[in-house]
Amino acid sequence: MARRKKGDPVDGWVLLDKPAEMTSTQAVSAVRRIFDARKAGHAGTLDPLATGLLPIALGEATKTVPFAQDGMKTYRFTIRWGVSTDTLDAEGEETAKSDVRPARAAIEAVLPRFVGQIDQIPPAFSAIRVDGARAYDLARAGEIVELEARTVRIDEVSLLDTPTADLAVLEMHCGKGTYVRSLVRDIAAALGVEGHVAALRRVAVGPFDIADAITLADLDALKAEGREAQALEPVHAAASDLPVLDITPDQVAYLRQGRAIVVPPRRVEALRALRCERMIGDRDCSRSVLAMDGDEPVAIGDLQAGKLSPWRVFVPSGA
């Protein structure tokens, strides 16, 4: 007899407003515990120092994590001028100090250098693996960590405010793998000053926005009233940019068996006009379609030669 999986069959996304001083793993565990969910994961790590949007997938929603993880992200962050640290943020040890403070015009003048496809060296204190070990573990042990530059995409970086001479508040819209701490390090270097990340908040991940996020305290309050399900976004919310194909009950059975279904020519043309022009990992999603049975996602598949062939199949956890 197969062992019953621990937890309840819960499917959907929770858009958590992560508090500071909590790791992403701890946040996922807290949400999973509130829902007593069998399975959970998240779409993009936030440092303990950082706050803001952490999309957490439960159950079948974990199958769409790459759609959010590979999406564009928006960060608001504060730079404190005058001090550099080994971690590039407020949690690190001071490595250099200066009395120089950049003027607003000078900051704005260097920002265009960091827009587009740029090469960026990740922080030594990061989760990147070096010979099987995490870079931050090596750095904490006192080893010199040298990471190779990576090409990242930054669509926009702008100066929002300079509340004091010591502080500057910026916003960045960027692709996967971009480090705010590295950007701040490089901006400070371009200005010939010292600086580090004093505060960091993520406000958007793929289709998700901080305006729709919920705190752990509010989740706990809903749980106490038995209304925690109200905080769930649909399983397919992360793949909302895919064209939708409404299917019949017979087609539901075919797709859930991993079999292709025939799509009428007129519907094929309509779906092609709505196609999603982006990559999910190594997969080109320009032919991908989301098959729906009413409000329930059934599969994501590629549309070719008049047939939809599934490569992600959703089966409700309670089924």
Catalytically active residues, by annotation: 47
Alpha-carbon distance of 300 to 230, in angstroms, equals 25
The amino acid at 112:
P
259, 251 in Cβ contact below 8 A?
no
Alpha-carbon distance of 132 to 147, in angstroms, equals 14
3-state DSSP call for residue 240?
Answer: coil
Q: Are strands 279-280 and 288-293 parallel, antiparallel or unpaired?
A: unpaired
| Tokens, residue 97 | 């100090």
> Residues 6 or more apart from 1 whose CB is under 8 A from it?
none
Run of H or E including 202: strand 195-205
36, 8 in Cβ contact below 8 A?
yes
* Ordered DSSP codes for 253-316: HHHHTT--EE--HHHHHHHHHT----EETTEEGGGEEEEEETTEEEEEEEEETTEEEEEEE---
A 10 A CB-CB count for 308 gives 26
Run of H or E including 110: helix 104-110
Alpha-carbon distance of 294 to 98, in angstroms, equals 61
